[in-house]
């Protein structure tokens, strides 16, 4: 069914883009067919990941940033992820509401998506949705993660610049920040900086980052903002711009592209392998046979796993 | 009660409660409508240490738990104030003349939605809304029509307006002066409670800080020039309608009140200059005793805080005077006649809680704007309470009930816990920006809905005692769409006929003043006199102050 | 992958009463749907834009101000113009029976009055896709 949309998509019809994203969300062969078809057009957009704790103001920042970028570029895309309820499978996708300035502008395409059990802080298909927006001609794309701890850092894999959003209360003690967060940020935002200790927090953060060895020669920047009021947004745009030129000077853009594509192939292949593995009748049979032995202590889980994998290759050779 | 008797009582009560465990209990929810647990029995031990003089006192005595006036309803019944206003300024004016001829001395203005948002009738957001839920006021011209032929020195006017309250008040005052009445003789009330707009009602325009400045400007201007004006009616009604519990309504409303007092003091005003002109507006919901305790607790908390924390010396600053409206959200579309009964109980709770004025809802409000017959029955309900039930004969008749006094105290304590929480978050405005109130209220509303759907709470006619398909025989009021067409035409005419050079000049002066620190009220009066429209004035202020967009938390 | 039903809950116009909209949003989430709430004060254009970008299956308007006879037809018209004729439009609020009937003839799929059980709303929506 995607064919009916392709031509309209390439001629800039937002409804076609939206419908194609739904097909991608549903996955399966149809979804991959869309991704195949758009791939030649993917790769033009500058991708910005936005991560940080819940309530730090990620959506409000994207709201102001996307409006700011829109003054210079034709199209901005936003993929905003909210958590799926583990109980009902439903979700309240609340990011859009906080993008009140952006949503009146047809040049800003906001797509909300539920995490649907993905552990990465991104939805299983957030990167793919960004691809659709990329091929649709977005110049800048924001990927917003849900703030869920360590695993969200995978956001970095498919973006050019990673913004980490913090608030002064997030633990007045900078030292207590998760080290993972400190390592992935290209730009650190101290949002709600007009609160008590906002300045001191930003200073502490700066001095702490100075102690670290800059990764690949980039020393992360710290920008205080008051997103709801638009405070610090020009400075933030400037900081992102500086990181972008840094990447451009050092071949970082190409390097990121290579990494992202490698990662994507690996991830997709792993997924497929997993599907293949668990859908294989031989594996099911072997597991049925092995499991009682693990239960009664005759075999360790490791032994069983080795034999399970072996069953696949033996079967192959035999077949 | 002496110590021995108390010991005996406690022992007997323990035994009694033990015995109760063997009794069978109905499978119903015995919590209040706010889901607060209630004990099966209250006895003297629940209020063992009650200090009458300290906690209750005489009516009219600090801390006013029993009422703000020494003689309460023997001196003066509550004001039966029915909120109304709809259609064009001319229709409303006719209605006012009728009401005044029938002996009413106070007018109450309901504005339509565009006016509440500071928008003109030809604004793109106004389409379909002009004159719908109230009257449209675009400029002082409409004030002239609305109050045409009425002696403004002889009446009081209550205006339910918040976001643009300062502007609409300026239009009212300017028109009053033009009609020959001095500012000091104009009397009335503006709701002007912007904090609850952010929390619940949502008709905000500007961000909180400039909004608070407009309010302190109104407070300062009125205490100097319009001393008979009640500047803010601090409202819990809408917080409750948004789904809060009784304690949340109590706590959030009083916290808003404290925030206004603090803003006034910070702006350099003497608390006793403005505090006597603050009043309150509460909801009266279905849980009879919980509501009565809420009103009693509110008076006590306010009095103590005003005297002890803010150092108010004038006794009038300590008084929590309040208007009550029965709970619109408790009315059902199913079997609407039952709403008459609900409203009657709620009204009774308001009276037993010592309200100064009361609005009773009409049975058909969940279906459409109220019809005349429904409004009449609602008013008659109040008259029956006042003249037939005998509840006005003695003051605060439920005082001294173990249950009432224990619950009043508990609600006071629960409110204090909320005050601490709000303080910890950096005050009311911070808590608004953090979505604290939205989350608290949203959770309460959803929990209540789930309780109803699980039939843990019974709503007659909705989840029990249903009647199947019912034929409605309540006439439904409809507003003519011609109102909007005429109002827009009149507005366009005004823009052509007035001196547009003068309008531009006054608006520029307003803009400059808004960017600085001076009191904006004189400028708003000037703009009104030049017939600048509400939308134009609001537009200029938006340019300086920005617009508020609510953070989404739910 | 099975995609949950996606619903846009919108508050058009100036009416600020969002208790019902939020309760319904929560209930539909709990019924396993993905719910986008637009927030207050949306123009019909903004609502349809959101419906388009999010590719929702259902648009639900909540109106308590009395402006439903203006706002529902406007949203429906814009949806049709934007190619969203296949997306269901439903709604709720204080809407007299007579108006509800008329709105249904104009392509509004269902109107839920005050006091409607939220599970009934969820079931109705599920029924549309059964």
- Residue-wise pLDDT for B13-62, tens only, equals 999 999 999 988 887 788 999 999 999 999 999 999 999 999 999 999 99
**pLDDT at position B325 over 60:** yes
What are the residue ranges of helices labelled H in C14-60? 19-30, 44-54
**pLDDT at position A122 over 90:** no
Q: Do C66 and B472 touch (CB under 8 A)?
A: no
Place of tokens 């003249």: B387
C-alpha distances in angstroms, B66 versus B50, B51, B62, B297? 14, 14, 9, 10
Sheet containing A91-93: order of strands: A91-93, C34-37, C6-10, C58-63, C88-93, C110-112
Same domain as A22, residue A79: no
Chain A hits for C32, CB-CB cut-off 8 Å, are 88-90
CA atoms of B50 and A318, how far apart (whole Å):
89
**pLDDT at position A61 over 70:** yes
Chain B hits for A196, CB-CB cut-off 8 Å, are 426
**pLDDT higher at A169 or B510:** B510
- The contacts of residue B174 (CB under 8 Å, 6+ apart) are B140, B143, B525, B528, B529
Strand (E) or helix (H) holding B326: strand B322-326
> Which of C20, C22, C24 would best serve as a mutation to test chain B binding (most B beta carbons within 10 A)?
C22
Query: C46 to chain A: nearest residue by CA?
Result: A104
Same domain as A242, residue A156: yes
CA atoms of B457 and B450, how far apart (whole Å):
9
**pLDDT at position B492 over 50:** yes
Same domain as A230, residue A82: yes
From chain B residues 426-445, the ones with a CB under 8 A of any chain A CB are: 426, 433-434
- Band of pLDDT at residue A118, cut at 50, 70 and 90: low
Task: Tell me what percent of the residues of chain A surpass a pLDDT of 90.
Answer: 45
List per-residue pLDDT tens for chain C, 130 residues long: 578 999 999 999 888 888 889 999 999 999 999 999 988 889 999 999 999 999 999 999 999 888 899 999 999 999 999 999 999 999 999 888 889 999 999 999 999 988 788 999 999 999 999 8
Lowest mean pLDDT among A197-206, B113-122, B158-167, B316-325: A197-206
Averaged pLDDT, A156-180: 72
Query: A100 to chain B: nearest residue by CA?
Result: B549
Task: Tell me what percent of the residues of chain B surpass a pLDDT of 90.
Answer: 80
Q: What is the pLDDT, as a whole number, of residue B326? A: 97
User: Contact, B284 vs B346, CB < 8 A?
Assistant: yes
CA-angle at A267, arms to A265 and A269, nearest 5°: 65
C-alpha distances in angstroms, B5 versus B1, B9, B48? 6, 6, 12
Same domain as A239, residue A178: yes
Query: C100 to chain B: nearest residue by CA?
Result: B367
Q: Do C27 and B449 touch (CB under 8 A)?
A: yes
How close is the nearest chain B Cα to the Cα of C35, in Å?
12
Q: What is the pLDDT, as a whole number, of residue B145? A: 97
CA atoms of A81 and A129, how far apart (whole Å):
11
Chain C hits for A27, CB-CB cut-off 8 Å, are 1
**pLDDT higher at C17 or B469:** C17
Q: Please write the tens of the pLDDT for every residue from B235-267.
A: 999 999 999 999 999 999 999 999 999 999 999
Residue A80 lies in a domain: yes
- The contacts of residue B279 (CB under 8 Å, 6+ apart) are B189, B230, B232, B233, B234, B321, B322, B323, B356
Count CB pairs under 8 A between chains A and C. Answer: 81
Task: Tell me what percent of the residues of chain A surpass a pLDDT of 70.
Answer: 88
Task: Report the number of distinct structural domains present in chain A.
Answer: 3
| Contact with chain C for residue A109, Cβ under 8 A | yes
| Chain C residues with a Cβ under 8 Å from any Cβ in chain B | 13-19, 22-23, 25-27, 37, 39-41, 43, 65-67, 69-71, 94, 96-98, 113-115, 117-119
Strand partners, A215: A218
Averaged pLDDT, B291-313: 98
> Which of A26, A112, A275 would best serve as a mutation to test chain C binding (most C beta carbons within 10 A)?
A112
Residue A270 lies in a domain: no
Q: Do C36 and A112 touch (CB under 8 A)?
A: yes
The DSSP line for chain A is -THHHHHHHHTT-HHHHHHHHHHHHH-HHHHHHHHHHHGGGTT-SEEEEEEE-TTS-HHHHHHHHHHHHHTT-S-EEEEEEEPPPTTTS-EEE-TGGG-TTGGG-TTEEEEEEE-TT-SSSS-TTHHHHHHHHHHTT-SEEEEEPP--SGGGGGGGGG-SEEEEEE-TTS-S-GGGS-HHHHHH-SEEEE-STTSTTHHHHHHHHHHHHHHSPPBTTBPPEEEE-BGGGTBTHHHHHHHHHHHHHHHHHTTHHHHHHHHHHHHHHHHHHHHHHHHHHHH-HHHHHHHHHHHHHHHTTSS-HHHHHHHHHHHHHHHHHH-
Q: Please write the tens of the pLDDT for every residue from A241-282.
A: 999 999 999 999 998 899 888 888 988 898 888 888 888 888
Same domain as A193, residue A244: yes
* Whole-number CA gyration radius for chain A: 22
Same domain as A51, residue A22: no
Q: Which chains touch A (3 or more CB pairs under 8 A)?
A: B, C
Nearest CB to C50 within list A15, A28, A103: A103
| Contact with chain A for residue C60, Cβ under 8 A | no
- Band of pLDDT at residue B471, cut at 50, 70 and 90: low
Residue A259 lies in a domain: no
Q: Do C26 and B554 touch (CB under 8 A)?
A: yes
Homologous superfamily of domain range B52-237+251-328+349-359+389-434: Methylmalonyl-CoA mutase (3.20.20.240)
**pLDDT at position B554 over 60:** no
Chain C hits for B453, CB-CB cut-off 8 Å, are 117-119
Q: What is the pLDDT, as a whole number, of residue A319? A: 39
Q: What is the pLDDT, as a whole number, of residue B552? A: 63
Domain ranges of chain B: 52-237+251-328+349-359+389-434
DSSP B201: I
Query: A95 to chain B: nearest residue by CA?
Result: B552
Same domain as A155, residue A219: yes
CA atoms of C46 and C39, how far apart (whole Å):
11
How close is the nearest chain A Cα to the Cα of C109, in Å?
22
Query: C116 to chain B: nearest residue by CA?
Result: B462
Q: Do C52 and A92 touch (CB under 8 A)?
A: no
The whole domain housing A115 covers 43-250
| Contact with chain A for residue B390, Cβ under 8 A | no
- Band of pLDDT at residue B370, cut at 50, 70 and 90: confident
Top mean pLDDT of A190-199, B365-374, C19-28 is at C19-28
Q: Please write the tens of the pLDDT for every residue from B55-69.
A: 999 999 999 999 999
CA atoms of B419 and B414, how far apart (whole Å):
9
Chain C hits for A85, CB-CB cut-off 8 Å, are 29-30
**DSSP-derived 3-state class of residue B372:** helix
Same domain as A314, residue A188: no
Can the peptide bond before residue B104 be classed as cis, meaning omega within 30 degrees of 0?
no
CA atoms of B258 and B317, how far apart (whole Å):
12
Chain C hits for B119, CB-CB cut-off 8 Å, are 14
Domain ranges of chain C: 6-128
| Contact with chain B for residue A196, Cβ under 8 A | yes
Nearest CB to B552 within list A97, A101, A196: A97
Q: Please write the tens of the pLDDT for every residue from B112-149.
A: 999 999 999 999 889 888 988 889 999 999 999 999 99
Residue A262 lies in a domain: no
Q: Do C53 and A14 touch (CB under 8 A)?
A: yes
Averaged pLDDT, B153-159: 92
Averaged pLDDT, B526-546: 97
How close is the nearest chain B Cα to the Cα of A190, in Å?
16
User: Contact, B392 vs B348, CB < 8 A?
Assistant: no
Residue B357 backbone class (left: φ over 0; alpha: ψ -120 to 50; beta: rest):
beta
Residue A186 lies in a domain: yes
Q: Which chains touch C (3 or more CB pairs under 8 A)?
A: A, B
CATH class of C6-128: alpha beta
CA atoms of A288 and A282, how far apart (whole Å):
10
Same domain as A59, residue A7: no
Chain A hits for B434, CB-CB cut-off 8 Å, are 55
């Amino acid at each position: 069914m995607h064919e009916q949309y392709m031509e309209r998509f390439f001629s800039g019809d937002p409804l076609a883009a939206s419908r194609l994203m739904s097909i991608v969300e549903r996955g399966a062969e149809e979804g991959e067919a869309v991704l195949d078809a758009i791939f030649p057009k993917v790769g033009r957009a500058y991708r910005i990941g936005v991560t940080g704790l819940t309530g730090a103001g990620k959506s409000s920042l994207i709201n102001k940033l996307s409006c700011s970028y829109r003054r210079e570029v034709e199209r901005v895309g936003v993929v905003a992820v909210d958590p799926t309820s583990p109980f009902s499978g439903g979700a309240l996708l609340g990011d859009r509401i906080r993008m009140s300035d952006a949503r009146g502008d047809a040049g800003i395409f906001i797509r909300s998506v539920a995490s649907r059990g993905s552990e990465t802080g991104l939805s299983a298909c957030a990167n793919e949705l960004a691809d659709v927006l990329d091929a649709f001609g977005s110049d800048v794309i924001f990927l917003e993660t849900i703030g869920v701890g360590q695993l969200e850092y995978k956001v970095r894999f498919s973006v050019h610049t990673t913004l980490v959003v913090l608030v002064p209360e997030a633990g007045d003690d900078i030292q207590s920040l998760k080290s993972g967060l400190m390592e992935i940020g290209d730009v650190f935002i101290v949002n709600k900086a007009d609160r008590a200790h906002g300045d001191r927090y930003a200073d502490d953060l700066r001095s702490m980052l100075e102690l670290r060895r800059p990764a690949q020669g980039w020393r992360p920047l710290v920008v205080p903002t008051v997103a709801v009021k638009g405070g610090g947004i020009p400075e933030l745009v400037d900081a992102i711009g500086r990181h972008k030129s840094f990447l451009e000077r050092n071949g970082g853009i190409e390097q990121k592209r290579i990494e992202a594509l490698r990662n994507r192939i690996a991830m997709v292949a792993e997924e497929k392998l997993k599907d293949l593995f668990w859908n294989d009748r031989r594996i099911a049979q072997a597991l049925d046979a092995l499991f009682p032995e693990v239960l009664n202590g005759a075999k360790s889980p490791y032994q069983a796993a080795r034999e399970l994998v072996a069953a696949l290759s033996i079967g192959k050779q035999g077949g | 009660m002496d110590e021995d008797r108390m010991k005996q009582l406690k022992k007997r009560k323990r035994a009694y409660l033990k015995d109760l465990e063997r009794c069978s209990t109905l499978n119903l929810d015995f919590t209040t409508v706010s889901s607060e647990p209630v004990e099966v029995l209250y006895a003297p031990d629940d209020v063992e240490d009650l200090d009458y003089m300290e906690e209750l006192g005489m009516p009219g005595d600090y801390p006013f738990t029993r009422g703000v006036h020494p003689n309460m309803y023997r001196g003066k019944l509550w004001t039966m104030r029915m909120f109304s206003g709809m259609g064009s300024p001319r229709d409303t004016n006719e209605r006012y003349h009728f009401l005044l001829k029938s002996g009413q001395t106070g007018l109450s203005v309901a504005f339509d939605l565009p006016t509440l948002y500071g928008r003109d009738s030809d604004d793109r957001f106004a389409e379909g809304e002009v004159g719908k839920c109230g009257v449209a006021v675009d400029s002082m011209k409409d004030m002239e029509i609305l109050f045409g032929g009425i002696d403004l020195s002889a009446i009081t006017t209550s205006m339910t307006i918040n976001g643009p309250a300062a502007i609409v008040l300026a239009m009212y005052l300017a028109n009053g002066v033009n009609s020959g009445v001095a500012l000091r003789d104009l009397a009335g009330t503006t709701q002007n409670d912007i904090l609850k707009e952010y929390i619940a009602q949502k008709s905000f325009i500007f961000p909180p800080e400039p909004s608070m400045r407009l309010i302190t400007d109104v407070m300062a201007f009125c205490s100097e020039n319009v001393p008979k004006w009640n500047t803010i009616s601090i409202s819990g009604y809408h917080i409750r309608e948004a789904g809060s519990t009784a304690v949340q309504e109590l706590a959030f409303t009083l916290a808003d009140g404290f925030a206004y007092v603090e803003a006034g003091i910070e702006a350099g005003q003497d608390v006793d200059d403005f505090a006597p002109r603050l009043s309150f507006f509460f909801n009266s919901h279905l849980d009879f005793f919980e509501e009565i305790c809420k009103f009693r607790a509110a008076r006590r908390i306010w009095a103590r805080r005003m005297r002890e924390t803010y150092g108010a010396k004038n006794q009038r600053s300590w008084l929590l005077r309040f208007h009550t409206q029965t709970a619109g959200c408790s009315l059902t579309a199913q079997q609407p006649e039952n709403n008459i009964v609900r409203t009657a109980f709620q009204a009774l709770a308001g009276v037993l809680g010592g309200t100064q004025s009361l609005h009773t809802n009409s049975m058909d409000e969940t279906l459409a704007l109220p019809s005349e017959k429904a409004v009449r029955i609602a008013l008659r309900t109040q008259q029956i309470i006042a003249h037939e039930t005998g509840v006005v004969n003695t003051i605060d008749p439920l005082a001294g009930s173990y249950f009432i006094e224990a619950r009043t105290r508990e609600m006071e304590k629960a409110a204090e816990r909320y005050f601490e929480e709000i303080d910890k978050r950096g005050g009311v405005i911070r808590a608004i920006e953090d979505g604290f109130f939205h989350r608290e209220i949203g959770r309460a509303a959803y929990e209540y809905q789930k309780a109803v759907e699980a039939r843990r709470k019974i709503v007659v006619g909705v989840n029990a005692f249903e009647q199947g398909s019912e034929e409605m025989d309540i006439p439904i009021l409809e507003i003519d769409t011609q109102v909007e067409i005429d109002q827009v035409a009149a507005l366009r005419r005004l823009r052509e006929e007035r001196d547009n050079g003068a309008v531009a000049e006054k608006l520029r002066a307003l803009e400059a003043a808004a960017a600085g620190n001076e009191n904006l009220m004189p400028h708003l009066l000037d703009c009104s006199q030049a017939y600048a429209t509400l939308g134009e004035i609001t537009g200029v202020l938006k340019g300086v102050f920005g617009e508020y967009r609510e953070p989404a938390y739910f | 992958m099975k995609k949950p039903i996606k619903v846009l809950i919108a508050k058009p116009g100036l009416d600020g009463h969002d208790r019902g909209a939020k309760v319904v949003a929560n209930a539909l989430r709990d019924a396993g749907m993905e719910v986008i709430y637009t927030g207050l004060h949306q123009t019909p254009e903004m609502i349809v834009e959101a419906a388009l970008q999010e590719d929702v299956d259902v648009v639900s308007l909540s109106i308590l101000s009395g402006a439903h006879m203006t706002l529902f037809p406007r949203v429906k018209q814009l949806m049709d113009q934007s190619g969203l004729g296949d997306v269901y439009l439903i709604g709720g609020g204080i809407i007299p029976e007579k108006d509800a009937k008329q709105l249904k003839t104009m392509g509004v799929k269902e109107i839920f009055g005050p006091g409607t059980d939220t599970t009934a709303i969820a079931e109705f929506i599920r029924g549309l896709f059964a």
